[in-house]
């Protein structure tokens, strides 16, 4: 799409294990010396990291960064955000820290995730998915574990807007249902890692059935789910390890669903209001 994805330091760090030896060496040097990179040329960076200019260019291509000048722009944005916050490192498990500081760390991590995920959204992708949803015979949603929370939330909102939706929890039922879908159907698959076996099984089946696949997942050059999808909405989140459970990745995935609903609702406001009023009236009797 030609649009840089925000959070370049996070992007580099999350993909270190997927880079080649020379690329990983340069990436590690950038992570350790982001401010210095701003003053260096490509040749300087290659020399400082004991690599080559060709390796620097390959790294940028792998990370889908449009040139060395773009890398500097993204690094500058990251450094400015860090300076503005000057927050402690996000640490979920830290008995020695005060509870207030832990809450502040979580708040900063959530803020980062929301900010970067919103900046990653592309209106052309929202428009394309919206168009396919409006003409879909059926909308299929699936996610495992914490990702299912985001899938279920999106399913509930799509239902309120009048779309024919099914959100599956049982993988066996989901596999059976996916085998009956076709080119007029839309499948939304949620997986932060993009490597969940069950989700990839479904994506492969749906690809064979020519269903339109929307992936909600993190940015990784070798993200298999993203490779199988027609449209990818990138989730920006950095989860700590060890962790109690998924946190910022769920928030960011929910945010993408909300953004899609906001887009859909405003494409046909009359239809949206009609469905919202009808569904609100239907559940009114269940309120005390």
b/e for 134-160, b at 16 or more Cβ within 10 A? eebebbbbbbbebbbebbbbbbebbbb
Tell which residue, 173, 240, 188, 207, has the closest CA to residue 13. Answer: 240
Query: At 231, is the secondary structure helix, strand, or coil?
Result: strand
Return the pLDDT at 249: 87
Angle among Cα 99, 104, 106 to the nearest 5 degrees reads 95
Which residue blocks in 63-196 are alpha helix, DSSP H? 68-85, 99-120, 123-135, 146-160, 171-178
Start-end ranges of CATH 1.10.10.10 in the chain? Answer: 1-86
Segments of the chain assigned to CATH 3.40.50.10490: 120-286
Among 3.40.47.10, 1.10.10.10, 3.40.50.740, 3.90.850.10, name the CATH number for the domain at 1-86: 1.10.10.10
pLDDT at 94: 66
Residue 238's pLDDT is: 66
pLDDT of res. 90: 44
In the chain, which residues have pLDDT < 50? 1-5, 87-90
- Burial code (b: 16+ CB inside 10 Å, e: under 16) for 48-73 equals ebebeeebbebbbebbebeebeebbe
In this structure, are strands 212-218 and 231-235 parallel, antiparallel, or unpaired? parallel
What contacts 3, CB < 8 A, 6 or more positions away?
Answer: 122
What's the N-to-C CA distance of the chain in angstroms? Answer: 49
The confidence score (pLDDT) of residue 124 equals 93
pLDDT at 64: 84
120-286: which CATH architecture? 3-Layer(aba) Sandwich (3.40)
CA distance 219 to 173: 29
CA–CA distance from 107 to each of 89, 205, 238 (Å)?
Answer: 12, 39, 13
- The pLDDT value recorded for residue 116 is 80
Alpha carbon distances (Å) from 140 to 100, 136, 158, 261:
41, 10, 11, 16
Residue 244 structure tokens: 């109690």
Return the structure tokens found at 170.
């049982």
Arithmetic mean of pLDDT over the chain:
87
pLDDT at 58: 93
Distance of alpha carbon 228 from alpha carbon 213, whole angstroms? 8
What would the 3-class secondary structure string for 183-223 be?
Answer: CCCEEEEECCCCCCHHHHHHHHHHHHCCCEEEEEEECCCCC
pLDDT at 288: 83
For residue 149, the Cα-to-chain-centroid distance in whole angstroms is 14
Query: What was the pLDDT predicted at 7?
Result: 75
- CA atoms of 76 and 244, how far apart (whole Å): 32
> Nearest-CA neighbor of 146 among 233, 244, 234?
244
């Amino acid at each position: 799409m030609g649009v840089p994805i925000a959070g370049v330091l996070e992007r580099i760090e999350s993909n270190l294990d997927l880079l080649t030896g020379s690329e990983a060496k340069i990436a590690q040097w950038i992570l350790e010396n982001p401010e210095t990179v701003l003053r260096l040329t490509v040749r300087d960076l290659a020399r400082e990291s004991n690599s080559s200019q060709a390796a620097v260019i390959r790294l940028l291509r792998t990370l889908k960064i449009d040139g060395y000048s773009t890398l500097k722009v993204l690094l500058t944005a990251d450094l400015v955000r860090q300076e503005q916050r000057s927050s402690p490192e996000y640490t979920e498990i830290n008995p020695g820290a005060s509870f207030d500081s832990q809450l502040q760390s979580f708040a900063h991590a959530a803020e980062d995730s929301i900010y970067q995920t919103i900046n990653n959204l592309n209106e052309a992708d929202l428009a394309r998915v919206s168009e396919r949803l409006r003409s879909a015979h059926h909308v299929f949603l699936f996610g495992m574990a914490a990702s299912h929370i985001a899938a279920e939330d999106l399913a509930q909102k799509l239902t309120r807007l009048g779309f024919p939706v099914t959100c599956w929890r049982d993988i066996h039922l989901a596999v059976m249902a996916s085998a009956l879908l076709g080119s007029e159907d839309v499948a939304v698959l949620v997986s932060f890692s993009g490597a969940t076996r069950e989700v990839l099984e479904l994506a492969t089946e749906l690809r064979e059935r020519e269903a339109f696949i929307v992936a909600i997942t993190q940015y990784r050059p070798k993200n298999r789910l993203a490779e199988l999808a027609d449209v990818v909405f990138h989730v920006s989140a950095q989860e700590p390890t060890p962790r109690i459970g998924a946190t910022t990745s769920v928030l960011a995935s929910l945010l993408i669903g909300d953004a899609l609903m906001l887009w859909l609702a405003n494409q046909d406001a009359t239809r949206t209001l009609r469905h919202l009023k009808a569904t609100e009236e239907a559940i009114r009797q269940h309120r005390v």
